[in-house]
Amino acid sequence: MCARFPRDARFGDSRDAKSDSFARELGSRNSRGPAWGEAYVGPMPSSVYPPRTLAAMLGLTVALMLGSARPARSQSGDAPRNLKVLPADLSRDSIVKIMRFTVASGLGVTCSYCHGAPGVPFDSIDFASDERQTKRTAREMMRMVSRINGELLPAITTRGTPPIEVQCITCHRGAPRPLMLEDTLGTVIARFGVDSALATYERIKQRYTGRFAYDFGQRSLNTLAARLLEQNRLADARRVLELDIREHPEAWDPAFQLGQVYESLGEKDLAIAQYRRVLTLLPTHAATKRRLEALTGRAP
């Protein structure tokens, strides 16, 4: 039976509580933010879904930022008071749609990630306030996105059709800090060790499978293992590759890599078994055949 990391029995010690909250911090600087940056899962009835301009939004519809096709202007007294990037005369309704469908959902957070303070009910939030660092960063991000879409991409003369605009979600993938899975796990390994990183992997996977934020394909763990091998951290690479092949039993390349790591660690029998596995997955793999022959003294 494959070890499925019984969460509490094996990894439920306080060190993991620490590494877990550390990983969460990596995923979000906002300690009040939802764990791992909870997705914005509010209703999205099509009647509310904004017209085309907003869909292209932030790509914000460069148009919007650069001042051509603008959605409804504000006529009423609740007009936004502190817009420095978005057109200052947008109606509150347009702003809220942008905030909701592009900004909050792109980062997988709720409004309170950037607006409000602990314990402040939604109705009393002062959305114009710049008190929160996350809001101020988001404003810089809007400027960056506007520049990418407004200046940098248009400078490329060979763009495809239709031209694609960058949006918050393009980088953020529904997470407040756009870290790759291998970055998060690599940082946890460096700080808390490989056991904690494997536990973190399980928790992130439980939470994020089926979403865009993390790539649970073999690429992430392969990349992490390659980085560890570069640093000659064989024992850690071994653990990551063992996880990799449990998660992706059909993949031959982490299996071959693991065989090599076993060899380097002097685990001859494990190496042979792993190389044999590779040949069941990819019978023609010449390098594996050579390693098997070297280890067993005869052609496989």
Residues that bind ligand HEC (CB under 6 A): 28-30, 58, 80-86, 92, 95-96, 99-100, 103-104, 106-107, 109, 111, 113-115, 127-128, 134-135, 137-139, 141-142, 145, 166, 168, 170-172, 176-178
Distance between CA atoms of residues 240 and 61, nearest Å: 42
Angle between helices 218-230 and 252-264 (to 10 degrees): 20
Nearer of residues 97 and 203 to ligand HEC, judged by Cβ: 97
Token output for 201:
């992997």
Amino acid in the structure at residue 44: M
Nearer of residues 135 and 207 to ligand HEC, judged by Cβ: 135
Distance between CA atoms of residues 268 and 245, nearest Å: 18
Q: Which long-range contacts (CB under 8 A, 24 or more apart) does 128-132 make?
A: 128/80, 128/81, 128/82, 129/82, 130/82
How many C-beta atoms lie closer than 10 Å to residue 259's C-beta? Answer: 26
Q: How far is the CB of 13 from ligand HEC (least distance, A)?
A: 28
Q: How far is the CB of 230 from ligand HEC (least distance, A)?
A: 22
Q: How far is the CB of 278 from ligand HEC (least distance, A)?
A: 37
Nearer of residues 119 and 297 to ligand HEC, judged by Cβ: 119
> Measured between alpha carbons, how far is residue 155 from residues 62, 152, 158 in Å?
14, 5, 9
Nearer of residues 138 and 271 to ligand HEC, judged by Cβ: 138
Burial class of residue 56 in the structure, from the number of CB atoms within 10 Å of its CB (0-12 exposed, 13-18 middle, 19+ buried):
buried
Nearer of residues 13 and 126 to ligand HEC, judged by Cβ: 126
Q: How far is the CB of 209 from ligand HEC (least distance, A)?
A: 23
Q: Which long-range contacts (CB under 8 A, 24 or more apart) does 153-161 make?
A: none
Q: How far is the CB of 189 from ligand HEC (least distance, A)?
A: 20
Q: How far is the CB of 262 from ligand HEC (least distance, A)?
A: 37
Nearer of residues 86 and 243 to ligand HEC, judged by Cβ: 86
Q: How far is the CB of 105 from ligand HEC (least distance, A)?
A: 8
Nearer of residues 170 and 218 to ligand HEC, judged by Cβ: 170
Distance between CA atoms of residues 78 and 70, nearest Å: 19
